Structure 1
Amino acid sequence: MKRVAICTLFHKNYNYGGILQGLALQNVLRDMGLDAYLVTYNDKINKNPIYTTLLSRCTQYSFIEIYCKIKEMLTATIHSEIKAKIKPRIELFDKFISNNFHVTDLYSDDSLSLLEKEFDVIISGSDQVWNPNAVRKLYLQDFSVSNGTKKIAYAASISRNRLSNKEAKIMIPCIEKFDAIGVREKTASNILDSFGIKDAKTVLDPTMLLSVDEWNNVVAPCVITEPYVLVYSFSDCPFKDSLSDFYIKRNMKVVFIPYAKQEYNSFDNNCDLIPMWNVGPAEFLSLIKYSEFVYTDSFHGSVFSILFNKQFAVYERDKSGTTSKNSRMYDLLSVFGLDSRMIRDDHKKVLENKVDFSNVNEILEKKRIESWTWLKNAVDSQ
């Protein structure tokens, strides 16, 4: 039985989408008869090979962005009670990982070359493993292999619409050495193509390789008895007040997951929607599955809305600048013919118009087969 290492953002990554995509890829590979493990790797102690210093990281942001971030960090020290409120949520994450994941011992940049002795295939992905802000040597597989160990990327996301010359100089030589490259967004394929990598295949996020029935085995029981709308956001929620009014008039609650990044932010601190605190990955799926509507700026918030056939709307996060991640949202919606779910001006029109999921589900099934087949061929090829 082939042993497969999955290199993705999962260790101490208390992000719903990040954890669930890791679980999905693990389970898909194990269903293929492979002995798959997620590599335990601490991003916080292993440096970004592109932006190695605080000063170099700051060059990506405008003065206003830096000022706002520093102000928020300072304000967060005043609100230490947030950590106490989030602690039960972190415990739910840890329990979920312990119960569902097959993981390796802890690796560091100094020990990455040992992976080839333990594994036949090393997969980078899914999620933002090639985002220049998050990339690490592990995700680029920037280490030599000599025993025929295969290097694969599956649904790796760059999360940008371009790479700077500085970023490309570090990343492209590593990516060129992969035996098979599957990226999550068409934008990423186009970026790689512009640097001479012509064979990158656009594939589905691994969460979409699992059926709804398979996800139902993970979903926690419904905890809200009345009809409700879920707001799942990582940025300030535009139209927040009118959104609440829109659904309250229809006798629905409007709930949200405060501090979805598991850290303080000012817009959640001032939000008057109904907070849902004790939400681990299984509870997150439950909130989406049993909702009447999902309002989000999250990639995986959109993905699970599609999987569970929930009415949903998407709004942009960090609309401009080199660090904007909206290209992944545009690509996802485009694949399923759902561009109209992106709120631009008339948000009430998007809320009122319903999605017909019959065509969406047909596209999903076709893309699921294509992506599963590509992955199977990539790990099986000699």
Structure 2
Amino acid sequence: MKISIITLHRVLNFGSVLQAYSTCTVLKRLGHEPEIINYMEHRYTTLGVIKDTFKNTICESSHSSNIKKAIKFILKTASYTIKRIKFNIFLARHIPMTAKRFTNFHDIKNSPPPADIYMTGSDQVWNSIYNGGIDRAHYLDFAPIGKPRIAYGASFGLDTLPQSEIQETRDLLIKYNAISLRESSGVQIIEKIGLSGAQQVLDPTLLLAKDEWKNEFKLYHSPLRKKYLLIYSIDPQSDELVYRIAKIIAKSRAIPIVRISQGAKLPTFKGCTQRSFMAVRNFLRYFYYADFVVASSFHGTAFSINFNKQFVTVSPSKYSSRTRSLLDLVDLSHRLIENRNNKIDQSLIDFDPVNRILEAERIKSINFLLKSTSAQYKTNSSPS
């Protein structure tokens, strides 16, 4: 079946593009023809980013001279351009997308891509704070009447919905034939707004096991000739704590620190080698061969678990429920550090029970996809 998927594949974030890749890969294995709707809101376009960057730079402290602001604007714009090129190469090579690009809901509503099934993919597609309000495109409100609508691993990114959004969210989700969410908090939100039948599933990146990632992207050689501690943080407010923890662990293991940066905007801490403008494959390589990982990122945590890395996770300053939910699921909540007073757990993780949980959850998650995309299930009524 042709499955048209809307998700956050255009965000310049390794986890975002890799979850889109995983979703398509698994659906292909199930015999379907997946296609990502090339939905790129204006804020993600080059023009939109440049406008926002210019506005933010100009509005910075008046203590900065116009020359300094101009230099900062040029550097930020150049950084974005390089990152966009890197990610565009990955998307073009690995992810099937619609030829037409859509920049707003009405574009898709007026000309929805043809499909047998419409799917909301994973990541924070239903996070109204992140999306600047309820984005009806991510709720499949453009799908033709009578066409099945399903959600796989969708995320609100929040523990509760704002009261003002409950009715509209319910009106949109009641049209779905099947709903699954990435976090347990998401399932609770669905239940609280009066719908039933939603279930928790794995993030798409966890549907592919460690060896599958290795073979898919030929991760046969370490990027370094020595052991290293890897930092991956996408939360600037956690940077100081992440680095302090990394220094303690690296010193105890007598290994250097390497930090993945998605651009040139992050500061390089003393004694930390920074890797900027990395290709997606190299992101996977650095995770695959790390001796230890300190992460402040949901997908950084997910890949640490999936690749069986010794790790700790620093709770991000916002949208932290997704990380807690994953750690609770695999019984590794003790690896979460929420503030500087928490103990740093460096004990060796026994991944045998973790892998058994992951395998059982993979089976459940793939069974959801099998059932919800079957011809027989298409005729079922929406959740009540």
TM range (shorter): 0.7 to 0.9
Contact 2:126/2:138 (8 A) holds in 1 = yes
Picking from 247, 252, 277, the partner of 1:244 is 247
Aligned to 2:351: 357
Aligned partner of 1:365: which letter? E
Matched, 1:333 2:333: no
Aligned to 2:314: 315
How far 1:240 moved relative to its partner?
Answer: 1.8
State the match for 1:113 in structure 2: 109
1:242-272 CA-partner distances (Å, limit 9, x unpaired):
53254145331101123x3x473xxx22533
**CA offset at residue 314 of structure 1?**
0.6
Which residue identity is paired with 1:332? Answer: L
The equivalent of 1:49 in structure 2 is: none
Change in CA separation of 1:311 and 1:187 when aligned onto 2, cut-off 3 Å? same
- Native 8 Å contact 2:207 2:362 kept in 1: yes
Do the aligned residues in 2 keep the contact of 1:40 with 1:106 (CA within 8 Å)?
yes
Task: Mark the CA change 1:24 to 1:117 in structure 2 (over 3 Å): closer, same or farther.
Answer: closer
Instruction: Give CA-to-partner distance per residue, 1:302-323, whole Å, 9 cap, x none.
Output: 11111110011111111xxxxx
Does the 8 Å CA contact 1:89/1:277 hold for their aligned counterparts?
Answer: no
User: Following the alignment from structure 1 to structure 2, what is the Cα–Cα distance between the partners of residues 111 and 205?
Assistant: 28
Task: Give the whole-Å Cα distance in 2 for the aligned partners of 1:155 and 1:72.
Answer: 41
Which whole-Å CA distance do the structure 2 matches of 1:331 and 1:156 have between them? 14
CA contact (8 A) 1:230 1:294 kept: yes
Matched AA of 1:208? L
> Partner of 1:177 in structure 2?
175
Q: Please, which moves more after superposition, 348-357 or 28-37? A: 348-357
Distance 2:159 2:37 in 1: 28
Q: Is it true that 1:165 corresponds to 2:163 in the alignment?
A: yes
Which residue of structure 1 lines up, in the alignment, with residue 267 of structure 2? Answer: 269
Provide the residue aligned with 1:50 in structure 2: none
Q: Do the aligned partners of residues 76 and 354 (structure 1) sit closer, same or farther apart at CA in structure 2, a change above 3 Å counting? A: farther
Matches within 5 A, 1:1-40: 2-11=1-10, 13-40=11-38
244-253 or 169-178, which moves further after superposition? Answer: 244-253
In 2: Cα distance, 1:306 partner to 1:165 partner: 35
Give the Cα separation in 2 of the matches to 1:243 and 1:222: 20
Larger mean Cα displacement after TM superposition, 36-45 or 157-166: 36-45
Structure 2 counterpart SS, 1:132: coil
Partner SS for 2:141: coil
Residues 108-128 of structure 1, C-alpha deviation per residue, up to 9 Å, x if partnerless? 422323666610101101110
What amino acid is aligned across from residue 126 of structure 1 in structure 2? Answer: S
Deviation, 1:208, is 1.0
Residues 139-173 of structure 1: CA deviation (Å, up to 9, x unaligned): 11123522x31100100000101111122233221
SS of the equivalent of 2:12 reads coil
Q: How does 1:50-65 map to 2 (within 5 A)?
A: none
Q: Which whole-Å CA distance do the structure 1 matches of 2:242 and 2:94 have between them?
A: 37
Identify the range of structure 1 (244-253 vs 353-362) with the bigger mean alpha-carbon deviation: 244-253
Residue type at the aligned position of 1:326: S
Secondary structure of the structure 2 residue equivalent to 1:141: coil
TM-score with structure 2 length normalisation? 0.83
Q: 2:361 aligns with which of 348, 351, 367?
A: 367
Change in Cα spacing, 1:68 to 1:325, as seen in structure 2 (3 Å) is: farther
Kindly indicate whether the alpha-carbon contact (under 8 Å) linking 1:16 and 1:280 is maintained by their aligned counterparts in 2.
no
- Which residue of structure 2 aligns with residue 63 of structure 1? none
Q: 1: distance between equivalents of 2:282 and 2:30?
A: 28
User: What SS does structure 2 have at the residue aligned with 1:29?
Assistant: helix
Partner of 2:97: 103
Matched positions, count = 349
Q: For the residues of structure 1 that align with 2:2 and 2:305, how far apart are their CA atoms? A: 32
Q: Which residue does 2:49 correspond to in 1?
A: none
Question: Any gaps of 5 or more consecutive residues in structure 2?
Answer: 45-55, 379-384
**Residues 117 and 312 (structure 1 numbering): CA distance in 2 closer, same or farther, change over 3 Å?**
closer
TM norm structure 1: 0.84
Partner of 1:129: 125
Between the aligned partners of 1:33 and 1:151, the Cα distance in structure 2 is 18
8 Å contact from structure 1 (residues 151, 178) kept in 2:
yes
Partner of 1:197: 195
Alpha-carbon distance in 2 for matches of 1:251, 1:37: 46
The alpha-carbon distance between structure 1 residues 89 and 204, as it changes in their structure 2 partners (threshold 3 A), is same
Local SS of the residue matching 2:153: strand
- SS of the aligned residue for 1:23 comes to helix
For 2:335, the aligned partner's letter is: R
1:211 corresponds to which residue?
A: 209
In the TM superposition, residue 349 of structure 1 has moved relative to its aligned partner by 4.8
Equivalent residue, structure 2, for 1:321: none
Taking a change above 3 Å as real, the CA distance of residues 129 and 77 of structure 1, as seen in their structure-2 partners, is farther
Tell me how far apart the structure 2 counterparts of residues 76 and 360 of structure 1 sit (CA, whole Å): 49
**Following the alignment from structure 2 to structure 1, what is the Cα–Cα distance between the partners of residues 163 and 113?**
34
Equivalent position amino acid for 2:280 in 1? P
Q: 1:86·1:278 contact (CA, 8 Å) conserved in 2?
A: no
Segments of structure 1 that go 5 or more residues without pairing to the other structure are: 47-66, 319-323
**How do 1:144-155 and structure 2 match up within 5 A?**
145-146=144-145, 148-155=146-153
